Amino acid sequence: MDRRRFLQGSGAFAFAGMSGLTGCAKHVPMTANATAPSLPLYDAVSPIIPIRADIDRIFRITVCLRPFRPAGPRLDVERVGEKTIVHNYGHGGSGWSLSWGSAAVVIDKALAALDGKREIAVVGCGALGLTAATSAQRAGLKVTIYAKERPPFVRSSRATGSWTPDSRIALTSAAAPEFATQWESMARTSFAMYQSYLGMAGNPVEWTDRYQLSDVSREEQAAHHEREDSHGFVHYNPRIADLVPSQHDLPPGSTPFRTKYVRRTTSLTFNVADYSRQLINDFLIAGGKIETREFHTPQEIAALPEPVAVNCTGYAARALWNDESIVPVRGQIAWLIPQEGVNYGINYGNLNVLARRDGIVVQPSVHGDDDGWGETDETPDRAAAEAGVVALQSVYKRTQAGRA
Ligand SMILES: Cc1cc2nc3c(=O)[nH]c(=O)nc-3n(C[C@H](O)[C@H](O)[C@H](O)COP(=O)(O)OP(=O)(O)OC[C@H]3O[C@@H](n4cnc5c(N)ncnc54)[C@H](O)[C@@H]3O)c2cc1C
């Protein structure tokens, strides 16, 4: 989840103007005005059911390594013997969000290399492999996925599941000047494709509300997050600010949250369990094959029968391709039992929470964006998981029963 999404919204307030009788509401930025409503005139805060933040409701703890490259993902073409390899790895904390856009880039390159041939290999069955394979099928290719693991055992299955296209995707000091434009194109392509997964049985993708809770002003918060980013990650989200609704300040007392400021926006949630199952099912129904296989060297991939292979091996590309530019950025999630009617996200200081259909993701961090940098230990830390759940208890006002 991206804390900056909340801080980069339009001005302090926004309200909706109704355009005549068409009922077509649009968001109109408003200059600061002490008496102005902070919610659209037609809007209301729907009931927010508190999350049952009990440590005995933790049903699993997962750890995953973000495949971060300071220059941004690797999407170039390489020859290994007779084989053309198109790389598609290194998407940091944005792999799900950018996946379709990244697939569009690499499948175009693969089609050019195929020169009329119709068969392609995709190595890897995570977020990037599944979307590259599906995009290749949609381009009319016969596709085989080769992978050591498939969902739910891939690292992608341990992601938060939020629309976070610029989360730890590159460093300002290392990204090429043209990367921002390519990023924007990938983000817009992905966002458009995600709309085609809305409204399906199982809710693979849905729009859900996010609450930014804070006891300090927006400016103080921004300064705090700035201090916690010692590496200088790029922040491109303002380039696509038109894609998701701007944030609103909610009136005091209108929510069960106890903080001084409560702001709300709405964004995409990926219910990763169902979404990846649907991606696999669609791929198989369209005639794709998945072969369980582990590669130890690029030459083993070069020996595959297909003339072109797309390399979607994520963090594992560090060892397989000897790409030492990949920095592991560790992230841990405590999973709480899902709750009927609870489908929102919370961002409070360094605590990120997202209630999904397949579990309520609780992610505390100590150092904000710097958290987990260079860490390779994928062993769950139970104490940190419990600390996150206890922190979540503190965001709700106490009720008469003594608990939110
Ligand atoms: C805690 C956390 C939260 C995150 N939250 C989000 C989020 O909310 N939104 C978002 O967009 N992104 C998020 N991310 C980032 C996202 O999870 C990654 O960018 C993404 O999972 C990378 O996917 P991938 O397909 O490249 O790699 P993987 O999921 O690691 O898949 C790699 C595939 O390659 C295969 N493979 C690897 N090596 C070999 C080999 N030698 N031989 C054969 N097969 C091999 C694997 O078996 C697997 O199938 C998060 C990451 C973390 C850690």
Is there a domain that residue 75 lies in?
A: yes
What is the rounded CA–CA span in Å between residue 154 and residue 148?
Answer: 9
- Ligand 1 midpoint to CA 371 (Å): 18
Q: Is the predicted pLDDT of residue 13 greater than 90, yes or no?
A: no
Q: Cα dist. 380→66, 244, 386 in Å?
A: 15, 33, 11
Is there a domain that residue 40 lies in?
A: no
Share of residues in the chain with pLDDT > 70 (%): 88
Is there a domain that residue 41 lies in?
A: no
Q: Is the predicted pLDDT of residue 401 greater than 80, yes or no?
A: no
**Sheet of strand 308-311, all strands in order from the earlier edge strand to the far edge:** 77-80, 83-87, 308-311, 119-123, 142-147, 289-292
How many CB atoms are located within 10 Å of the residue 182 CB?
Answer: 17
Residue in 91, 332, 358 to alter for ligand 1 test, most ligand atoms within 8 A of Cβ: 91
Is there a domain that residue 27 lies in?
A: no
Q: Which residue's entry shows tokens 């206890």? A: 390
Query: What would the pLDDT profile of 170-225 be if each residue is shown by its tens digit?
Result: 999 999 999 999 999 999 999 999 999 999 999 999 999 999 999 988 788 777 77
Across 27-31, 258-262, 285-289, the highest mean pLDDT is recorded for 285-289
pLDDT average, residue stretch 347-355 = 95
- Establish whether residue 38 lines the binding site of ligand 1, counting it when its CB lies within 6 angstroms of any ligand atom: no
- Under the banding of pLDDT at 50, 70 and 90, the label for residue 345 is very high
**Looking at residue 43, what is its pLDDT?**
65
Measured distance between the N- and C-terminal CA atoms of the chain, rounded to whole angstroms: 24
> Encoding tokens for residue 155?
């690292």
Q: Is the predicted pLDDT of residue 234 greater than 50, yes or no?
A: yes
Q: Is the predicted pLDDT of residue 344 greater than 70, yes or no?
A: yes
> Encoding tokens for residue 303?
């020996």
Q: Looking at the chain, how many residues does it have? A: 404
Is there a domain that residue 4 lies in?
A: no
Is there a domain that residue 34 lies in?
A: no
Query: What would the pLDDT profile of 122-131 be if each residue is shown by its tens digit?
Result: 999 999 999 9
Q: Is the predicted pLDDT of residue 327 greater than 90, yes or no?
A: yes
Is there a domain that residue 115 lies in?
A: yes
- Ligand 1 midpoint to CA 157 (Å): 7
Could you tell me the pTM of the whole model? 0.90
Of the listed ranges 7-21, 120-134, 296-310, the one predicted with least confidence = 7-21
Long-range contacts at 250-257 (CB < 8 A, ≥ 24 apart): 250/38, 250/39, 250/45, 250/211, 251/38, 251/39, 251/45, 254/45, 255/45, 255/48, 255/211, 256/48, 256/50, 256/396, 256/397, 256/404, 257/48, 257/211, 257/213, 257/346, 257/395, 257/396, 257/397
Number of domains in the chain: 1
What is the rounded CA–CA span in Å between residue 108 and residue 135?
Answer: 10
Nearest to 240 by CA among 133, 149, 164: 164
- Under the banding of pLDDT at 50, 70 and 90, the label for residue 38 is low
Q: Is the predicted pLDDT of residue 66 greater than 60, yes or no?
A: yes
**Looking at residue 9, what is its pLDDT?**
39
Residue in 85, 96, 98 to alter for ligand 1 test, most ligand atoms within 8 A of Cβ: 96
- Establish whether residue 315 lines the binding site of ligand 1, counting it when its CB lies within 6 angstroms of any ligand atom: yes
pLDDT, averaged across the chain: 89
- Ligand 1 midpoint to CA 90 (Å): 9
- Under the banding of pLDDT at 50, 70 and 90, the label for residue 58 is very high
**Looking at residue 172, what is its pLDDT?**
97
**Looking at residue 15, what is its pLDDT?**
25
Is there a domain that residue 24 lies in?
A: no
Query: What would the pLDDT profile of 235-262 be if each residue is shown by its tens digit?
Result: 999 999 999 999 889 988 889 999 999 9
Domain span at residue 352 reads 55-403
